[in-house]
Structure 1
């Protein structure tokens, strides 16, 4: 079971997510770092565990603003450079293909950013591509229906993003994860949203979930370094 820390970026800072209500996101305050600077926060997370992968939600790029490229370069410049799973609102072939060619970057194709399934059809077999199936606070899927309904289009890694649970402490959406898992075949399913503690991670693993994107429980200490060491694969 992989635990993948989340860095939500806005205006060059790490912000704390709240149920997908992005207008409410504010710079993070965490005991792991003295500031909300992304490199400082990433280093702080690595005091808990030597994480080799970080998930990056570039909220500016997702909103159609300038992407946080300099921040991504700084994160890649960390000692023992991490792999970055990056959702930067990819909606056109050029930026996606540039990200696929970038060393150490696995672009995340967010369903909310897609007008149709063209990009996914074109690049689904690329080993670095990740699909995010995005469910918003109203519980509804955001994106072309074919992305959710046609599992043959899915790449080998699929994130189930339940934004209503992000930062909520409400627990993962086990029923939705089970539904996606049943369609996924041998693909890796990644849970995102609501992970509270060690019990949730163990429950996800028992359901065949390959990894979990985690933020709040790392910063508030409900997942300790010792627990992460015992859980992390």
Structure 2
């Protein structure tokens, strides 16, 4: 099971995500690194997880404010070879391409969230002819799919990698939502499934692996010491 560490950026600092209530997030406090500076926290997380993959949620952009271009550029410049997955509330492939040009650094992987995509047509444009050109996040909160574009019911349009994001379990310490993961996986068994939300410890990770997840997005369990340092 691969761990993909997560940082949530708000106004230039890393914050602690809890249950998807973005307006209430506060600066992170972590056992891995003092302070909430993005570069230092990203370096600590990647080292702890023995990875060069990092998921970044730009909460400013997700809340309708300008993307944090300077912070994103700093991350890409500070960590050589970083594969940065970025969710910045993209409504379309054109939005992601425009931000890529603005950041003007090493390429990163756009995450297209079902809560943000404008339409089924935009979903098709995101990955048409290039299923490895990004990641789709299937988002839900409190049992409700966040999906005006109908992404959940269009597995033929999904890319090679799909995140199953259960927002009410993010930072909540309630365990992973393996039932939803299994339901999504049944629609497209060959898709690489990435879970998000709820992981507390190594036992949760093993249960997620058995349920069919190839990787899991993790933050709180790393900051709180629930997951040991990974080895290369």
TM bracket, shorter-chain basis: over 0.9
What CA deviation, in whole Å up to 9, does each residue of 1:57-78 have, x standing for no partner? 0010011101011111111112
- Structure 1 residue ranges, 4+ long, deviating more than 3 angstroms after superposition: 98-104
CA contact (8 A) 2:139 2:146 kept: yes
What CA deviation, in whole Å up to 9, does each residue of 1:168-220 have, x standing for no partner? 01011011000001012311110000011101111111122111000011111
Give how far 1:132 is off: 0.4
SS of match in other structure, 1:46: helix
Match of 2:196 among 187, 192, 195: 192
Match of 1:112 among 87, 112, 115: 115
Structure 2: runs of 5 or more not aligned: none
Say yes or no: does 1:74 pair with 2:77: no
CA contact (8 A) 1:99 1:106 kept: no
What is the root-mean-square deviation of aligned Cα atoms in Å? Answer: 1.7
| Residues 1:98 and 1:168: Cα distance change in structure 2 (over 3 Å) | same
Where does residue 155 of structure 1 map in the other structure? Answer: 159
Structure 1: runs of 5 or more not aligned: none
- TM (norm. structure 1) is 0.92
CA contact (8 A) 1:130 1:158 kept: yes
CA contact (8 A) 1:132 1:158 kept: yes
What CA deviation, in whole Å up to 9, does each residue of 1:65-108 have, x standing for no partner? 01011111111112433110000000134322345777431100
Match of 1:222 among 215, 218, 226: 226
Matches within 5 A, 1:110-149: 110-124=113-127, 125-126=129-130, 127-136=132-141, 138-144=142-148, 146-149=150-153
| Residues 1:183 and 1:99: Cα distance change in structure 2 (over 3 Å) | farther
What CA deviation, in whole Å up to 9, does each residue of 1:32-65 have, x standing for no partner? 2221010011122234233210000001001110
